Amino acid sequence: MSTLTPNEMGRIKAEIFDNVLDIGATPWIDVRAIYDIIQTNVSSASTAPTTSTTAVTSPGPTVLTLASVTGISAASRIVLDVDAGREVVTVRAVIGSTVSVLCTKTHSGTYPIEIESPLTIVRGILADLESIDLQERIAIPQAGVKKVDEIEFFGRNEGGAAHMALTKHRNTLRSRLAAACGLAGIMRELMSRAALAGGTTSYEAY
C-alpha cells in the first residue's frame, strides 16, 4: 500500500499557502502535526497497481487487456494513465484478463491502471493543479493591459477571460484539495494572513 511522498506533501503545503520548510527549519509556532497524519493515512487501495498496453485510439466503449485484474470487479472505479492522459472510469464488466470501460480520452503505450483510492483522488487534484499552471503560463502574456497609452485590455477571445477562468478553476481545485486532506480551516487561516499582509491591489488610469 502506497502513501503520499514527502515531495507531494510539499506540493500540498504550497497549494494551500503554507510554508514548505523542513521540520527542523520551521518556527515551532507553525509546526503542524496534521501533515504527518495526512501523509500516513492518505493511502492507495490494498490491490497493487497494474498496467495495460491496449491502445485506445478514440473515446467510447473500450475493452482493455490488463496485466492483472486482481481486486477489480464490475462497478470498480479505476484510474487510467497519468498526467494529461489520466482519467477515471467505471468498470462495466470483467471477463478473463479484460475489463469493459467507457473512455473519454485516448491512451497508448504501456500505461498504469489502479483502483481509485484516497491516494489517487489527491494525486488527481495535484495533477489538475499542475495542468492549470501550464495553461496559465500560456494565458498570462495575453491577460491584462494591452496598450498603455489608451488603456486597452485584451478581449475575451485574446486570453483575458481565459486567465480569469483558470484562476477561478485553480481556486476551486485548491479548495477541493484542502477539503480532501482535512486542511480547509488551515487554508482559510493562511489565506486570511496573506490577504492582511498583502493588502489590496488597484490600478489607476491617468
Residue-wise pLDDT tens digits, 9-36: 999 999 999 988 876 666 666 668 899 9
Mean pLDDT, residues 142-159: 55
C-alpha cell at 160: 483575458
Query: Does the pTM exceed 0.85?
Result: no
Average pLDDT over residues 86-99: 98
| Band of residue 140 on the pLDDT scale cut at 50, 70, 90 | low
Residue 196 has pLDDT above 90, yes or no: no
What confidence tens digit (pLDDT) does each residue in 34-90 have?
A: 999 999 999 999 999 999 999 999 999 999 999 999 999 999 999 999 988 999 999
Question: Which helix (H) or strand (E) is 9 found in, with range?
Answer: helix 6-15
Contact (Cβ atoms closer than 8 angstroms) between residue 70 and residue 45: no
Q: Residue 128, Cβ neighbours under 10 Å: how many?
A: 17
Q: What confidence score (pLDDT) does residue 201 get?
A: 42
Structural domains of the chain, with CATH: 6-43+118-198 (no CATH), 50-115 (2.40.10)
Q: Using alpha carbons, list the distances in angstroms from residue 24 to 1, 8, 30, 46, 78.
A: 28, 19, 12, 33, 38
